[in-house]
Amino acid sequence: MEDSGEHLLLPLVLRELPYSWDTGFTWPRELPETEANIARARAILEACAPEAPVPDPVPDPDWTRDEDEGEEEPAWLEIRVVLREFMPYADQVTEERMAEAMRECVLLGIPGVPVDADGEEAERFVRRWVSWIGGWIAGEVFTWLGMCVDDDTLVTPWAMELAERYARFGVATDRALSMLHWHGTVPRSREALARLKADGTLSP
């Protein structure tokens, strides 16, 4: 994709990710704790780290309907299906493919998609989805760091610091909190969780 001539929308370190969106950008559980894998995880989290609360908090990629609340399925789930078809890998997240995907969504009658792929609404749509895709990739990194990295010294303190920032600013919040809990024996994790609980980010 680097030579396609299309306008790439994700940072290089994300574009190099070999895992497809069809599987949710999931990192293999058997991936070894090598210096290279830890370095890639850190680089991705640093590249996607929010500097302030995001205007559109990243939704949970594993959204399920709450039957008791009578929730309706959000339109973004339908949009995501279309986007996956047009850009199954991170290095295919481009301005041109976003425009094609928007036109396809409009043809399918999916609500919340700009009709004009060149207007201001389309720009906001693209910014939101680029942010969400980056957030979902970061969430998978947090899951791998929490579930699959047993050596706490490999992730202390940088992973805890980044997880706290993500949780506080509304990006991959649940995955970031889960990573902190998985490494709950580490003082840095306990301190981050205590701060998040104190400021209301973490539920009692």
| Tens-digit pLDDT profile for residues 89-129 | 999 999 999 999 999 999 999 998 999 988 999 999 999 99
pLDDT at 76: 95
Q: Helix or strand or coil: residue 70?
A: coil
pLDDT at 5: 85
User: Is cis: bond before 157, omega within 30 of 0?
Assistant: yes
| Mean pLDDT score, 175-192 | 96
CA distance 171 to 163: 9
CA distance 81 to 145: 27
Residue 77 in this model has a pLDDT that exceeds 70? yes
pLDDT at 69: 64
> Predicted confidence band at 67 (pLDDT cuts at 50, 70, 90)?
low
Residue 204 in this model has a pLDDT that exceeds 70? no
> Predicted confidence band at 79 (pLDDT cuts at 50, 70, 90)?
very high
Please answer whether residues 41 and 145 qualify as being in contact, where contact means their C-beta atoms are separated by less than 8 angstroms: yes
CA distance 151 to 158: 14
Q: Helix or strand or coil: residue 94?
A: strand
Of residues 123, 149, 108, the one with CA closest to residue 163? 149
Phi then psi dihedrals of residue 203, to 5 deg: -65, 150
Please answer whether residues 137 and 151 qualify as being in contact, where contact means their C-beta atoms are separated by less than 8 angstroms: no
Cβ neighbours around 158 below 10 Å, total: 15
Please answer whether residues 78 and 48 qualify as being in contact, where contact means their C-beta atoms are separated by less than 8 angstroms: no
